[in-house]
Amino acid sequence: MKSLIILGSTGSIGTQCLDIVRIHRDRFTVSCLCCGKRIGLLREQIEEFAPRMVVVAEEKDAEDLRRDYPDLAVLSGDEGLCEAAAGEGDLVVNALVGIRGLAPTLAAIEAGKDIALANKETLVTGGELVMRRAAEKGVKILPVDSEHSAIFQCLEAAMGNRPASVILTASGGPFRGYSLEQLENVTLAQALAHPNWSMGRKITVDSASMVNKCLEIIEAKHLFGMAPSEIEVVVHPQSIVHSMVRFTDGAVLAQLGTPDMRVPIAYALDWPKRDTTGAPRLDFAALTGGLTFEVPDTNVFRTIPLAYESLERGGTATAALNGANEVLVAAFLAEKIRFIDIQNTLLKVMDRYENTALNTIEDVFAADAAARRMTEEVLSSL
């Protein structure tokens, strides 16, 4: 029986993680649930899964929960997340959104806990620190993102053969084939209407802007020890091939399946075992339109090259890129800026950002703060 600490239990990944627990109650228990503001849903989860601890963002919500659940340990804030990540449980599922997932990841590593990682910002901002410390502590980082899980599965099948490159697939989002002029008029509702995947609002916007693929390139570098030149991106609109690995002999291994996040979640939860997930089986005969692949249009989606440029710069460049994007997505979701302003501003900020060395988590947070200030300054001039 494996006990789970779920950071972000009320979000898209967290709720689907609990779907897997429901199917396999003989394999998993829940020791801790953490959420931000969706307290009503958290209460339902407490009733169903009976965790020993919960963490919420606001102390006021924590006080209410302590009153209503006197036998439950209730913590709050970022310190509570770190305490929970290092607390009682076998596997930490980090499904938080944004850079706030970094410190709990490091806390879990220091406690010697394996991590099912859905919080890509952990590796985008502090990948060198995280992977080095995980190796020192003998901690496994099990990817939950569908693309990185696919690569992980292909490498498992490769039996130790090092890949020549990894190939990240991208659906292209709702604006595949758009021109720059068409992106000028994109609405929030359009950006949130992903053609294939059901995801949270932030990652859905990132997918629409292709910044998500930018972040995944950086994540792949750290997860798999690849050079930037060894990471390829292809647009695959059907989202059936989740990613691929290319070898020196010309062979390519691919992982295929219906676009359902329960599959990579379940694999990370119970690696290396496979079991039922509730996801529909892939029906090859129904793929009448075939599977197609194309080169991403970097003349329109101009942020993809930023991933490679940031990796080449090293230091805190990727942390700055992430921080600027978090500010921009929040502004777009609040309908304060246009969709096109996301990539236009990112390009400006990264052009101006003065890179610094990355040696500690404090360096990450300093770069993040600097990038956020710079982004706000650029936005104020729009």
**For residue 203, what pLDDT band results from cuts at 50, 70 and 90?**
confident
**What pLDDT does residue 199 have?**
73
Residue 382 confidence (pLDDT): 80
Q: Identify which of 302, 284, 299 has the alpha carbon closest to the alpha carbon of residue 345.
A: 302
Mean pLDDT of 53-73: 97
Q: What is the mean pLDDT of residues 227-247?
A: 97
What is the per-residue pLDDT across 142-152, written as a single tens digit (0 to 9) for each?
A: 999 999 999 99
Instruction: Look at the block and give the residue holding tokens 């650029």.
Output: 378
pLDDT in tens, 174-200: 999 999 999 999 999 999 988 776 678
Indicate if the pLDDT at residue 173 is higher than 90.
no
According to the model, what pLDDT value does residue 194 have? 80
Domains and CATH numbers, the chain: 2-143 (3.40.50.720), 147-313 (no CATH)
- In percent, the amount of the chain with pLDDT more than 70 equals 99
What would the mean pLDDT of 331-349 be, rounded to a whole number? 96
Residue 74 has pLDDT above 80, yes or no: yes
As a whole number, the mean pLDDT across the chain is: 96
Binning pLDDT at 50, 70 and 90, where does residue 316 land? very high
Cβ atoms of 167 and 244 within 8 Å: the answer is: yes
Pairing, β 165-170 against β 241-246: antiparallel
The per-residue pLDDT for 197 is 67
